[in-house]
Structures are given as C-alpha cells and as structure tokens.
Amino acid sequence: MLRLASIDREMLSGSRGPGAQFAMEMMVAIAEMYEAQRFIDIEWAHVASAYCQGRANIDLARKLAQWNTRVAVPTTLTTCSLNLNAPFRQDDPAVELIHMYEDLGCEAVMTCAPYHARPEPSAGTHLAWCESSAVIYANSVLGARTNRYVEFIDICAAITGRVPECGLHCDENRHAGLVFNVGALPPDWFNDAWMFHALGILIAERSGTAIPAIVGIPRNVDREHLRAMGSAAAGSGSVSLFHAVGITPEAPTLDAACGGNVPAEAVNVSIADIERCAASLSTGSDAPVSAVCVGSPHMSTREFAAIAELLAGRRVSSDIVCVASTSAAVLRDIELSGLLDTLSDAGVQLVTGRCTYYRPFAADLGSHVMTNSAKWAWYAPSNLGIDVTFASLSDCVEKAVKSG
C-alpha cells in the first residue's frame, strides 16, 4: 500500500499550487501502477518534455506556465528538434517550448549527455532521467539510480522532486541475472569503441529484461567505450543497467554484481558474435557514402580530440558531408582549447542541441551515411529511410577525407 509523506499530501491537496498538484497526481498513478510503497527524493531531473513533437508538448507547457509552476530540483533538458549551432526562426514552436521550460526553472542544456553540462551525480544518487543512453550511463558507469522516465512523467518528477521507490531505485532490482565473458576477444579490440558498440548490440539481444554483468573488460577501459556499449544496449533493447566487473561502482566482483545469486545464464562472447552484430548495423548499400555522422550520444571533448588526431591536418572531401553532434557545454570546451577551429577548418560541421538521425536535418545527408555509432545505425534506416554503414571512428574519418 502506498504511504504518502506530508509533502506528498501537501502537493496533492493543492496547497503548493495547481502545477504541483497535477504533477503529484500523475506520480501517484505511476506509483500505484508499480505497487510502490512510498516516494523518495531525487536530486536531478533530465527531461524530454521540451522536445517539440506535437501539440501535446506545447499544451502541457502552456498549462504549467499558466499555473506558475516551478521545478523542485535541478532540471536539465535533453535534445531538441533544432540545430542550435545554426540559424533558426525565433517564432519556431520549438523555441517557444524551450523558453517555457526555462521559465519553469529548467536549464536548457539540450543534450542527451547531461553529465557533460553539470557535475556528474555520485554513486547512489537518485535521479529522474529520460534518454536511454543517459539512463544507462548514470546507472552503470556512475552508480546513480534512475528508471527510464518518459516525457510528461519526467517533468512531473522534476516538479514534485519525488519518484516512486521502484525499479532501479531499489537495491534488489539492480543485481545481474546473466554474465557475458569477453575474455576470448583479441586484446587490441578493447582499444576501439567500435567493438563496444557491437558488444552493446549483443548484450541487448541476449539480455532481454535481465541485467547483464560483463567479465573480462580491461580495468583501464575508457569511459567513452563503456558509454558506447551502454548506448547501443539501451538504444536497441531494454537494458538500463550493466555491471562491468572490476570497473563499475556496484561490481567490484562478479558475486557483488549478482547480489550473491547464481546467474541464470553465462554467454562466452566470440569473435564471430561481435562481427555478426557489427555487420547487422550496416544495410549493405553499394551506393557511394554521401555523409559521415558521429556523435550519438553527443560527443565528448576527448572524442573530438581523437577526431582531430585522426584528421592529422587533412580536410574533409568536398564530396562528403561530415557532421559531429555535441552539446553546447562541450562546444565551449573545444572552442577554448582551439579544437573547434581545427575541426571547422578541416570541414567538420558541428551540430548542437539535437540528434541527426531525426528529420528534418537528414535533407543534407544524402542517401548513404557512414557512422561510428550503433545507436545512430540502429535508428536511422527507419527514421530517415537511408542506407547506413557502421564502422570505426578511424574508418569514418578516412572515408570523410577520401570520398568514393
């Protein structure tokens, strides 16, 4: 039975305003659906409700504004439908929507990687985050705690500062149920994010709703590689938490990752498994590559440095569109470091605030795109109706500078 704290009852009564009352009514409905017994405080919300997808998004924002609603916790906004690094109309409904959410107290970081815009949450911190790649990164790499909060529910969590204690907020629901052993893979494969993207696809394919533990990843693995694996597993499946044994906060040992239980299944990952999953992300087109798209999730400063090193002073071919997506926060970092000028002079186009596998941005990409992102390759064929070739970042850069 759901037990309400005094603050919950105050919001439900309307004494904290109609916006908080509406939001708490929504959260109570969710709590009862999942048979939660109580609500818990969150420290950060990351919301998708400001993504302009239709009339409902704008109508809700206007109603919340009419009620003078404010968020109760630090709240960031995920990607939008605009390229904020290019001119756009100020009367665009997407601009109005962002401004209304800013008036609620939200920070318009407009990224799927909010941990690049604010200090990362610490292990054990309860969050209410949207966006599959952000959720799995927070749960796994950082050891924070969040379910996948969908739009409208996410902003209600931000307004109340409360979420039902259920799902991945609870210790007992965070234990691994199956194990992937990657010890048989070539050691040099762990130096390239390409392998981790493909491994993420395999993990989603075999895990279903179970939480996976991965054994055999080197302890000095880059966080960007773990992020790549997580984004692929979350984007192509329902995985919202993984444990990399000996690496991630809740997995000092396999026994700890499994909560002392015996995993139901053990998967010995082979070279053939990774090659098959990587191949599945390409549509097999013989048409010339018309564009290279990287940055899904949004690129980090380290990833931009890697691109600059791979370019080695060369320029993108005039026959290729080369696009890198990132956040405004990372864009500021690379501008201060001089990387932005280096990349722009080489012909790399920077996109901030959005993902490029959604329309209408695709008009400039042509019909065949190469990407280093499993998530991009997973979504683009159905979203954009284009062919995709999945490849490593180094191969993407080589294709960009040498068309054909």
Backbone conformation region of residue 326, classed left if phi is above 0, alpha if psi is from -120 to 50, else beta: beta
Alpha-carbon distance of 399 to 290, in angstroms, equals 10
Closest CA to 283 of 139, 351, 384, 381: 381
If you average pLDDT over every residue of the chain, what do you get? Answer: 95
CA dihedral (240, 304, 219, 395) positive or negative? positive
Mean pLDDT value of segment 22-39 = 98
Residue with tokens 């401004």: 99
Instruction: Give the list of residues 6+ apart from residue 86 with CB closer than 8 angstroms, or none.
Output: 351
**In sequence order, which ranges of 317-373 are alpha helices (DSSP H)?**
328-337, 339-345
Closest alpha carbon to 43 in 100, 105, 167, 128: 128
- Name the one residue in this structure whose structure tokens are 């916790």: 73
Mean pLDDT (whole number) for 176-180: 98
Give the integer Cα–Cα distance in Å for 14 and 122.
33
Mean pLDDT of the 197-202 span: 98
Listed in sequence order, the residues at least 6 apart from 200 whose beta carbon sits closer than 8 Å to its beta carbon are 228, 229, 230, 231, 232, 233, 234, 236, 374
Q: What is the pLDDT of residues 5-26, one digit of tens each?
A: 999 999 999 999 999 999 999 9
Total H helices, total E strands in the chain: 15, 14
Query: What confidence tens digit (pLDDT) does each residue in 69-97 have?
Result: 999 999 999 998 888 887 778 878 889 99
The conformation of residue 291, written as its DSSP 8-state character, comes to E
